[in-house]
Structure 1
Amino acid sequence: MSNGNPNSAGVVVAAFGNRGRLETTDGTTLRYLLKGRNLRTVCGDRVIWERPPQSHETLVTEVLPRDNALQRSDAKGRVETVAANLTQPIVVLAPAPQPNLFLVDRLLCAAALMDCSPLLVCNKTDLKLDDLFEAALDEYDRLGYPVVRTCVTPDSNVVELARLLTGHTSILVGQSGVGKSSLINALVGDSIAAVDALSEVSAEGKHTTSASVMHRLADGARLIDSPGVREFVPNISVSGEVQLGFPEIMAMAGNCRFANCQHQREPDCAIKQACANGDISPRRYASYKRLKNITPTGSV
């Protein structure tokens, strides 16, 4: 077990305000307290911690620079960081509840802003997938987003999904009710019970899905379970970043008459023409325009 020598390193596996849990380099899980009012941690943060002499308290003294962060902003432009140092965002959707494809598009945009290649998981495939949903999945696949189909039942498994997690720090994101918890249980197995111990850390006295929690899989992969989201607006600092989440628009944007074309009201817009010709999905183009209009920096 780690002894708390100066400059000991760890990874945050759960964060609740100024407290949380971290995993040390030897795999030990410790409760921690932030040392300093200006420190903030999220799941996935790499930190430096210490344990003062004659103390049983683990203190996080430094949060190391992040490779990236999954962030969202509200209508007032305030930014919330959900998790950090990710390599593979996984967007989970299902036939029920009714798929929110605009939410899926927003989450894919957030992945692009992190410079990560996302994965789409269609869960609950034991339920009937209507034609519109099947068409949307085919559309994402054509755009280069891998789609994995899963069904967590006693006679099924998630072997293919587990294989794609190897070597990654992944996060499951998506609507409430799409089965993220069932996937976590199937992938993590008995070690999921360790999450219950985190309840002692939260200010409310019980761990709920209001916080993200990281699990380590048998092969060493890390998987973060995040709360279900209904509203998610990627933290976009420059209006033009919206199209990063729409590779089909990025591919054709250079054909527009104006270099700074926003693909909305400008004349001779190649994107609008491609949409009219059927080369770009009208649904995806509508998502692009909606996202620009709800992004604090996106009004034109």
Structure 2
Amino acid sequence: MGMMHTAEGFSGVVSEARGGMYEVTDSVGAVWLCRTFRGTKTRNEGTSLVAVGDVVDVVPTGEGGGREGVITLVGSRKSALCRKRDVKRNRSKEKTQVIAANIDQLAIVASALEPPLNRRLIDRYLVFAESEHLPVLIIVNKVDLVPLSCLEADMAPYRRLGYRTAFVSASSGAGLAQLVAELQGRVSAFSGHSGVGKSTLINLLLGDELQKTAALSEGNSRGVHTTTNAAMLPLPGGGYVIDTPGIREFSLSGISRENLRFWFPEFLGPMQECSFSSCSHTREPGCAVRSAAETGDIDASRYDSYLALYESLEDEG
């Protein structure tokens, strides 16, 4: 390891993680196969040492110009998507496993029909995104299956709150150009419930060539490390897509009954008028949030989502 101090290092972005080895893309787009060592330092304590999207310092170790290296430092993350650890099966000391780091936006994929639009699930994703201070893009797929007016009505509350939405159909190609524009120049983590067509959509966005590459690497990774596999896939028009698991696997550990109300942006104004400063907005008298939901100033379905999430947080402790 003595040579590490003399070799010139560089910094790059982790574009793929598989079984303890990491692909790191440098500033000119070359891919290096890297590993960590006992002396690898991190600016992020208590979580996965390296995740897709991490900015890392690398020292080349490849003999004769081979693109291999050792990761010496993992930079601090501006955002992270974490997965819950199963405590019983957790052999590692990490409390949380980071699926992806430094993403610019969470792309929530829902479907208009088959399965029907699940607004409660969208709200759960939004709470997660708000708590992580992540910009959001709500993508509704299969829009060819429902009348546009119904869809517009369903999504109006989100648009009023300033969330960006994209209506697409992976089968007809409708709305894809607008979606590509929303993804350009950003690192987007795609997440969605099973059956909404997330993978089909990603494959379509990546184009044929990349799709084949992704399928190949997927075929090789069916073994032990499937769960930790994540890859940052470049979009032909610029930007990257990271495929992630569904929200049920995300860690909502930072969200409690006490702070849930802050992750519903439309509550922030009315809550200042509540009779009690510690109002939970569930059953207290003189609750301005509840009355705003009754008069329609706050969308009733969003308020119902709040109540359902509030109840569920009791179990998660």
TM-score (norm 2): 0.79
Alignment of 1:118-129 (within 5 A): 118-128=136-146
Distance 1:129 1:241 in 2: 37
* 1:204 maps onto 2:223 in alignment: yes
Distance 2:221 2:34 in 1: 12
- Which of the residues 25, 29, 32 maps onto 1:30? 32
| Cα distance change of structure 1 residues 136 and 71 upon mapping to structure 2, 3 Å threshold | farther
Q: Give 1:52's aligned residue.
A: 61
CA contact (8 A) 2:82 2:250 kept: no
Instruction: Give the fraction of aligned pairs with identical amino acids, expressed as a percent.
Output: 31
| Cα distance change of structure 1 residues 231 and 294 upon mapping to structure 2, 3 Å threshold | farther
| Cα distance change of structure 1 residues 181 and 210 upon mapping to structure 2, 3 Å threshold | farther
CA contact (8 A) 1:210 1:227 kept: no
- Which of the residues 153, 159, 162 maps onto 1:144? 162
Alpha-carbon shift at residue 83 of structure 1 (Å): 1.4
CA contact (8 A) 1:75 1:296 kept: no
Q: How many residues align?
A: 294
* 1:194 maps onto 2:213 in alignment: yes
* 1:223 maps onto 2:247 in alignment: no
Q: Give 1:168's aligned residue.
A: 186
Q: CA RMSD in A?
A: 3.2
Q: Give 1:91's aligned residue.
A: 108
Q: Give 2:78's aligned residue.
A: 67
Bigger mean CA deviation after superposition, 122-131 or 174-183 = 122-131
Amino acid at match of 2:61: P
CA contact (8 A) 1:31 1:201 kept: no
Distance 2:79 2:198 in 1: 23
Distance 1:162 1:22 in 2: 25
More helix by share: 2
Distance 1:65 1:255 in 2: 39
Runs of 5+ consecutive residues of structure 2 not aligned to the other structure: 1-5, 41-47, 88-94
Distance 1:197 1:9 in 2: 28
Amino acid at match of 1:251: G
Amino acid at match of 1:195: A
Alpha-carbon shift at residue 64 of structure 1 (Å): 0.6
- Which of the residues 118, 123, 138 maps onto 1:105? 123
Distance 1:136 1:155 in 2: 21
Distance 1:5 1:201 in 2: 33
Amino acid at match of 2:289: I
Q: Give 1:182's aligned residue.
A: 200
CA contact (8 A) 1:79 1:235 kept: no
| Cα distance change of structure 1 residues 103 and 6 upon mapping to structure 2, 3 Å threshold | farther
Runs of 5+ consecutive residues of structure 1 not aligned to the other structure: none
TM-score (norm 1): 0.83
